[in-house]
Amino acid sequence: MKPSKNECFTGFKLSLENSKNFIDDAKLLLKTGSYGHSLGLSMLAMEECGKAILLLGVSNGITELDKELTNFIFKNHIAKIVTSLYNLALYENYSKDEIEYIKSLATKLDLSKQRGFYVDYINKKWVTPQDDDVIKIAKYNLNYTEKIYDSLLPFLAHE
């Protein structure tokens, strides 16, 4: 059985709350020097924002919760990242070229989440969540994720 529009709005609020918790935890980890894990959590926060956006659309009657959208909301990580990035682009009034560039980033961002959590062997060398190149990515990603989260706060007032 599908959730009602009211239940989808509840899911929107809960997803947004979970995103905020991930953001707060990512900030703490960034301060302690755990850059990779901060990056990973900020990516999870971005995904939760994407889920929140989609649930808000259903609760407002903009779209119907069919099988494909259910998959997007609950299983497709890249779709949730793309949704969050598009929301940011609209919120920040990005140009069409910038929006196309953002679209190309979704897969890379999903991979950066994995880079934030796991030791891997890439291009004939070991990489870890604590490598220097992760620091910059973690800071930028957290900043953009916070912007996405902040752009959704006004919708909480529409209860």
Calpha distance 142→138 (Å, rounded):
6
Instruction: Give the range of the structural domain holding residue 53, as residue numbers without chain letter.
Output: 5-158
Q: Residue 72 has what pLDDT?
A: 87
Q: At what angle do helices 77-91 and 35-59 cross, to 10 degrees?
A: 80
* pLDDT at residue number 104: 83
Residue keyed to tokens 């997007």: 72
CA distances for 148 relative to 55, 86, 154, angstroms: 15, 9, 12
CA dist 113 and 133 (Å) reads 14
Cα-Cα-Cα-Cα dihedral of 148, 154, 155, 158, to 10°? Answer: 170
Cβ-contact 29, 44 below 8 angstroms: no
Chain-centre distance for alpha carbon 61:
23
What is the count of structural domains for the chain?
A: 1
Q: How much is the pLDDT for 158?
A: 66
Whether residue 148 contacts residue 87, with contact meaning beta carbons closer than 8 Å, is answered with yes
What sections of 92-152 are H helices per DSSP?
96-117, 132-152
Encode the chain (159 residues) as per-residue pLDDT tens digits.
789 999 999 999 999 999 999 999 999 999 999 999 999 999 999 999 999 999 999 999 999 888 999 988 999 999 999 999 999 988 889 888 888 888 788 888 888 899 899 999 999 999 999 998 899 999 999 999 999 999 999 999 865
**What is the domain-level CATH number for residue 46?**
1.20.120.330
Q: pTM (2 decimals)?
A: 0.91
